[in-house]
Structure 1
Amino acid sequence: MAKFKVTEVFEGISMPGYLHTQESLRAATNFQFQDTDVLLVTFPKSGTTWMQQILSLIFNKEDFQNIQSIPTWARVPWIEQIYLSNYLPQMEASKPRLFTTHLTANLLINNLKTSKTRVVYVARNPKDVLVSYYHFHKLAKFLPEIGSFDDFFDQFLEGKVNFGSWFNHIKDWLGVQQDLNFFLITYEDLSQDPRGAIQRLSNFLGQQLESKELENILHYCSFSFMSQNEQLNYSLVPPEAFDHSVEKFMRKGVTGNWKEHFSPEQNARFNNVYQAEMGDLAVKLPWSLD
């Protein structure tokens, strides 16, 4: 418990010491990817658990029931977390290996670009990311105290939250996509057209889905199913880490919830920062700032 409230700073980015050490972070930057690996990349609160579940389902479509007995964090573990070594031995026997990271591209690009690893980047409207991250801080006891929503709003825009700036994260990854076997998918795509989004993702992964398999995936990755499953909703995490009495890990699973939190002044300020940071981005992202 000594590291419970410790913040690790690695290459200028803060991360929770409860899950990371300098050693685990250095190991991630030196991680040896295999050509058959799949790496899920997200900024926190962008649909990580949702996509971990979807990837697991796509690659285990013959055994939907059995994989539900294993938590998502064990099926698609983070390469930068201290627990990776617990899962690697049993993963070696399976192909492909599925991994997750919240790290920026500059920390991983050297090893990734020399492999054929499939990189799946999930992006989400940063206004919804901000709101979800704020509520997650109230749940996760190992994250820093953040004060009011207004305080967290300022910290997020300034990139002074764990894992740094959302703007830097997405621009960093989109900036190297031409060097990688890369697929961009958004939370909004998955919300508005889950069938089409999962089909496109499966095609990228080289996995053909029969109509019945796709229907099963849609069921097992639905918010209603996942929010009730203890292997998916993080209710197995002990109360010293997650205060389940104040927040649920799976809170709403919707788009546009930021509208219930932002003041008109905050919305205008966010839009100004967004335009300054993202105005030159060539990629069209499917969310509205209105």
Structure 2
Amino acid sequence: MMDLRSEEEVPNFSDFKRLKPVEVEGVPLASNTAENWGLLWAFAARPDDLLICTYPKAGTTWIQEIVDMLQQGGDPQKCARAPTDKRMPFLDLFLPKPMNSGLEDAEVLPSPRTLKTHLPVQLLPPSFWEQKFMWGSWSDHVRGWWEAKDQHPILYLFYEDIKEDPAREIRKVAQFLGIELTEPVLKQIVQHTTFENMKANPMANYSSIPSCIMDHAVSPFMRKGAVGNWKEQFTVAQSERLDEICARELGGSGGLTFRTQL
């Protein structure tokens, strides 16, 4: 399904520039998100909302497509009904008008909704703590979500685990969602959500986003999808330094560890 607009509705992006970070409660956010913080903080979660929360570029789109495939009974045609950001609105995304914000898309989405955010635990709108939701993945805020998992219904997932055995991890997601998963549907989801298929899927690869916001000619949204490519970028000294930082920051977290290669 294409998101067709009349000429009058097409936004003018000629003045669009890269947004500067603005701190909200000590956390740097995009300036347009900070400007709309009151609206975001007041967002009303619903009892049957499912929230996918990750750090950027940590497998977010992958788990979104897996969840949608589970919800649609493994039917790829149903998952092709709209781009990812329309199927699962990005709550903290505010684009130039007349494009909708993630909040606006979420408000008109019928229940049950599946939503997305990159917010750390302390900035999540308070209404979510009264409801049920789901998180997973890596960043400086992983410890906050890790510590919250024992008090709230949170499924914590790791990118490396999904790469290693996608069928095993998809079963975990299905169990968390209370969805009965047959082997044929599981195989369909595994095939549909391979990195190669996701990268070629216009409903998942963000190719519909205007080039002034996301220029795929410079770098596609989905790049390599590999584990361990850091070896091509880090020196031995840099790797050892990062290990020290992770050990310090995650120390005492009660078993929170990350694999950096398979």
Q: Same fold by TM (over 0.5)?
A: yes
1:31 and 2:75 equivalent? Answer: no
1:287 and 2:252 equivalent? Answer: no
SS, match of residue 136 in structure 2: strand
Structure 1 vs Structure 2 CA RMSD: 2.1
Residue 212 of structure 1: aligned partner: 184
Residue 67 of structure 1: aligned partner: 79
Residue 188 of structure 1: aligned partner: 160
Q: Which of 57, 80, 84 is equivalent to 2:92?
A: 80
Deviations 1:158-186 (A, max 9, x none): xxxxxxxx33x111111222221111011
Query: Would the alpha carbon gap of residues 10 and 4 (structure 1) be closer, same or farther in structure 2, given more than 3 Å must change?
Result: farther
* Structure 2 gap ranges (5+): 1-12, 95-100
Amino acid at match of 1:41: C
CA contact (8 A) 1:112 1:180 kept: no
Amino acid at match of 1:111: S
Task: Give, in whole Å, the separation in 2 of the partners of 1:109 and 1:239.
Answer: 31
CA positional deviation for 1:109: 6.7
Task: Give, in whole Å, the separation in 2 of the partners of 1:179 and 1:43.
Answer: 21
SS, match of residue 199 in structure 1: helix
1:242 and 2:214 equivalent? Answer: yes
Residue 121 of structure 2: aligned partner: 105
Task: Give, in whole Å, the separation in 2 of the partners of 1:30 and 1:289.
Answer: 40
SS, match of residue 179 in structure 1: coil
Query: Would the alpha carbon gap of residues 89 and 79 (structure 1) be closer, same or farther in structure 2, given more than 3 Å must change?
Result: closer
CA positional deviation for 1:274: 1.1
The aligned length equals: 242
1:173 and 2:162 equivalent? Answer: no
Amino acid at match of 1:74: K
CA contact (8 A) 1:188 1:287 kept: yes
Alignment of 1:86-101 (within 5 A): 86-92=104-110, 94-95=111-112, 97-101=113-117
1:114 and 2:124 equivalent? Answer: no
CA positional deviation for 1:85: 3.9
CA positional deviation for 1:21: 4.4
CA contact (8 A) 2:133 2:154 kept: yes
Task: Give, in whole Å, the separation in 2 of the partners of 1:56 and 1:28.
Answer: 24
Amino acid at match of 1:259: K
Task: Give, in whole Å, the separation in 1 of the partners of 2:217 and 2:43.
Answer: 37
CA contact (8 A) 1:38 1:119 kept: yes
Task: Give, in whole Å, the separation in 2 of the partners of 1:189 and 1:37.
Answer: 25
Task: Give, in whole Å, the separation in 2 of the partners of 1:261 and 1:33.
Answer: 41
Query: Would the alpha carbon gap of residues 221 and 44 (structure 1) be closer, same or farther in structure 2, given more than 3 Å must change?
Result: same
Q: Which has the higher contact order (CA 8 A, sep 6+)?
A: 1
CA positional deviation for 1:212: 1.3
Deviations 1:57-99 (A, max 9, x none): 111116431321311111111222221244235412x32x100
SS, match of residue 40 in structure 1: strand
Task: Give, in whole Å, the separation in 1 of the partners of 2:16 and 2:217.
Answer: 23
